[in-house]
Chain A
Amino acid sequence: MIRLENVNKVYRTERVETLALENINLDVAPGEFVSVMGPSGCGKSTLLNLIGLLDAPSSGNLSLDGAAVATWKDGRLAEFRNEKLGFVFQSFHLVPDLKVVDNVEIPLLYRKTNGTPRRKLAQAALDRVGLASRIHHFPTQLSGGQQQRVAIARAIVGKPRILLADEPTGNLDSAMGDEIMDILHDLNKKDGTTIVMVTHDDRFARRTDRIVRLFDGRQVA
């Protein structure tokens, strides 16, 4: 489902060259739930951004769902992200001006889904994360845990095959973190969604199928 071969990522400025990822080789099977761990600055988020096509590798090969994506232009990448990928971020990144349901509808807008089916799908996704009663609230009217559940609803509303979660429990207390992990597990087991999750928390990492460990940009396990 996800394959990285000899992937390197170098950040260059006028003075400094930083090797963020070095020779990463990773295979994630369909339906697998993988966690990525490592100290701050080891390249976890960079790895997730590469898989999410939000950034491009400096060298090496990356293929998603059997497709080599290296030569794709902006439009094709956007289309692929829309159809196959879902994102959950540590700081939720909900649009504050939009109601909960409008936030969840965002991926469907770019799929040109019409108003009524779009609303139904968004409501179903919110129902799945237990927020059906909060659809007309604004993000700021919700707790951190509820906001993250909205973010998960937004990530799954388009039924992506791959879900990328960047420290989804990082801003939550442990009880709320458990709730979020339960939802991710449910998605993985019932829908077969492939999940790659960056986390600092061993307790949550142990609940995944496999742990990939990074240190100073290198894969150590």
Chain B
Amino acid sequence: MLTNYIKVALKVLARRKFFTFISLFGISFTLLVLMVATAMLDNVFAPRAPESKFDRVIGVYRIGFHGENFNATGNPGYRFIKEYVLDLPGAEATSVFSNSSTIGMYHDDRKIETHLRRTDGAYWRILDFDFLEGGPFSEDDNANASFVAVITDDMRTKLYGGGSKALGKTFEADGQRFRVVGVVRAVPITREVGFSEIWVPIRTMKTREYERQWMGGFGGIVLARNRSDFEALRREFTQRTSRFVFEDKTFNRLAAGLDTRLEFAGRAVLGSQFKGNRALVFRGILAGLALLFMLLPTMNLVSINLSRIMERASEIGVRKAFGASSRTLIGQFVVENVVLTVIGGLIGFVLSVAVLAALSRMELIPYAIFDVNLRIFFYGLLLAIFFGLISGVYPAWRMSRIQAVNALRGGAL
């Protein structure tokens, strides 16, 4: 039966080439935009190198101090992460790191604008960078404030020229001279925790002032053994932070949580006060936006489908006369529409591969390579099927309501 439906669908599409072109254009363009957006979101949120373990990582990226008259929100300070995140019991590893800050440095009389992040040793165990030379610095390097650095391959080219090795060489950044101990493949800026161009130990900071600060400039992450450990880790974190004592009496309430990347995005959109499942609501908002975007082409496809029904009145009458129930006809028409949208989806997919490759080449987002992997293909296919269902159900229902006797007579439907 299904084979027959698909056969009929392909023949109907071949018969009305103009309608088919209009429909496929609308579907493929819509799905192209959605797939490009999905690929970009995937690039930001999906676990991939160097954040490939991030399906098991939760972190504190933002905290809030609230009082009667004043509120302050920002990145956590080193002291906050040290006291409330590092050494959380049950975690496989925990790490503290500074934000990746923009710095200007001079090398061979050239000014180079770059990004520098300060991390501990555990950072390199949680993130999995692709080392092209050497390796990461250790916790001992951090404890001893060793002036060692890991740089990206792009930074290596900027410092020492293309094709040169960097291991053991030195450079000056932020008024300090560092020795290169590792070179990694460049990371896109969309990777909040992984991105930088230079990484150096935290304790190489010029002053120890940061050790006293509760808020500002740092983040902390926790690698769980399993996702199922998240709840226990969060419970422990909440217990610890409930004992937080405000030195500044302007504030009396702390807002902080251990978030996945998606939950953090949800926190940014929904605010810290929101108590529900932030990741779920954030996904819902994204799905809602996608739905809104699909609304116009869906209406268009519904309208085209309704006019196609008029052409197929005789066929509908015949099928009913020979035993098709209304439900069977709905099934047939929905399958036909899904076939149409899946073809549109495949065209959209091919187009999105080309568009994403062009976007990657244009380097709109430094080091970001937007590729179409199986996950994106699966999302695209899901979108196409969903699009096919929502644009096919109403016309199919209308079709099934047609009286066979009217359809065969060629009268009003």
Which of chain A's residues have a CB closer than 8 A to the CB of B327? Answer: 74-75
Which of chain A's residues have a CB closer than 8 A to the CB of B314? Answer: 93, 95
- Whether A54 touches B321, Cβ cut-off 8 Å, given contacts A49-B405, A89-B408, is yes
Distance of A85 Cα from B3 Cα, bound (Å):
25
- Whether A54 touches B408, Cβ cut-off 8 Å, given contacts A93-B318, A110-B328, is yes
Closest Cβ of chain B to A98, distance in Å, is 7
Stretch from A28-36, A76-84, A210-218 at the B interface: A76-84
Q: Which of A74, A109, A158: most chain B CB closer than 10 A?
A: A109
Query: Any chain A CB within 8 A of the CB of B404?
Result: yes
Distance of A81 Cα from B319 Cα, bound (Å):
11
Query: Any chain B CB within 8 A of the CB of A111?
Result: yes
Which of chain B's residues have a CB closer than 8 A to the CB of A112? Answer: 1
Render B258-300 as a binary contact track against A, CB cut-off 8 A, 1 for contact: 0000000000000000000000000000000000000000000
Distance of A34 Cα from B287 Cα, bound (Å):
62
Query: Any chain B CB within 8 A of the CB of A154?
Result: yes
Stretch from B8-16, B117-125, B160-168, B349-357 at the A interface: B8-16
Distance of A105 Cα from B3 Cα, bound (Å):
13
B404 & A154 in contact (Cβ 8 Å cutoff) = no
Partner of B324, one of A54, A97, A110, A154: A110
Q: Which of B314, B324, B405: most chain A CB closer than 10 A?
A: B405
Partner of A74, one of B1, B12, B325: B325
- Whether A106 touches B322, Cβ cut-off 8 Å, given contacts A49-B405, A55-B403, A97-B8, is yes
Which of chain B's residues have a CB closer than 8 A to the CB of A85? Answer: 321
Query: Any chain A CB within 8 A of the CB of B315?
Result: yes
Query: Any chain A CB within 8 A of the CB of B326?
Result: yes
B323 & A81 in contact (Cβ 8 Å cutoff) = yes
Number of interface residues of B (CB under 8 A): 27
Which of chain A's residues have a CB closer than 8 A to the CB of B56? Answer: none
Render A96-118 as a binary contact track against B, CB cut-off 8 A, 1 for contact: 11100010011101111001000
Query: Any chain A CB within 8 A of the CB of B320?
Result: yes
- Whether A78 touches B328, Cβ cut-off 8 Å, given contacts A95-B315, A112-B1, is yes
- Whether A78 touches B323, Cβ cut-off 8 Å, given contacts A97-B8, A112-B1, is yes
Partner of B404, one of A54, A95, A97, A98: A54
A87 & B322 in contact (Cβ 8 Å cutoff) = yes
The main secondary structure of chain B at its interface with chain A is: helix
A107 & B323 in contact (Cβ 8 Å cutoff) = yes
A-contacting residues, B314-364, CB 8 Å: 314-315, 317-328
- Whether A54 touches B12, Cβ cut-off 8 Å, given contacts A81-B323, A110-B324, is no
B323 & A83 in contact (Cβ 8 Å cutoff) = yes
Render A103-140 as a binary contact track against B, CB cut-off 8 A, 1 for contact: 00111011110010000000000000000000000000
Render A13-57 as a binary contact track against B, CB cut-off 8 A, 1 for contact: 000000000000000000000000000000001000100101100
Query: Any chain A CB within 8 A of the CB of B4?
Result: yes
A-contacting residues, B54-107, CB 8 Å: none
State which size class the interface on A falls in.
20 to 34
Closest Cβ of chain B to A100, distance in Å, is 14
B321 & A52 in contact (Cβ 8 Å cutoff) = yes
Partner of B325, one of A75, A106, A115: A75
Closest Cβ of chain A to B80, distance in Å, is 66
Distance of A45 Cα from B409 Cα, bound (Å):
10
A82 & B322 in contact (Cβ 8 Å cutoff) = yes
B323 & A97 in contact (Cβ 8 Å cutoff) = no
Distance of A35 Cα from B15 Cα, bound (Å):
38
Render B390-413 as a binary contact track against A, CB cut-off 8 A, 1 for contact: 000000000000011100110000
Distance of A89 Cα from B320 Cα, bound (Å):
14
B403 & A106 in contact (Cβ 8 Å cutoff) = no
Which of chain B's residues have a CB closer than 8 A to the CB of A89? Answer: 408
Which of chain A's residues have a CB closer than 8 A to the CB of B322? Answer: 81-82, 87, 106-107, 110, 154, 158
Which of chain B's residues have a CB closer than 8 A to the CB of A94? Answer: 318
Which of chain A's residues have a CB closer than 8 A to the CB of B1? Answer: 109, 112
A-contacting residues, B1-51, CB 8 Å: 1, 3-4, 7-8, 11-12, 15
Distance of A96 Cα from B318 Cα, bound (Å):
12
Partner of A54, one of B7, B15, B315, B320: B320
Closest Cβ of chain B to A168, distance in Å, is 14
Closest Cβ of chain A to B15, distance in Å, is 6
Which of chain B's residues have a CB closer than 8 A to the CB of A105? Answer: 4
Residue positions of B touching A, CB distance < 8 A: 1, 3-4, 7-8, 11-12, 15, 314-315, 317-328, 403-405, 408-409
30 A-B contact pairs sorted by A residue (CB < 8 Å): A45-B409, A49-B405, A54-B320, A54-B321, A55-B403, A55-B405, A74-B325, A74-B327, A78-B328, A79-B323, A79-B325, A81-B323, A82-B322, A85-B321, A87-B321, A93-B314, A93-B317, A93-B408, A96-B15, A97-B11, A98-B8, A98-B11, A102-B7, A106-B318, A106-B319, A107-B323, A109-B4, A110-B319, A110-B323, A158-B322
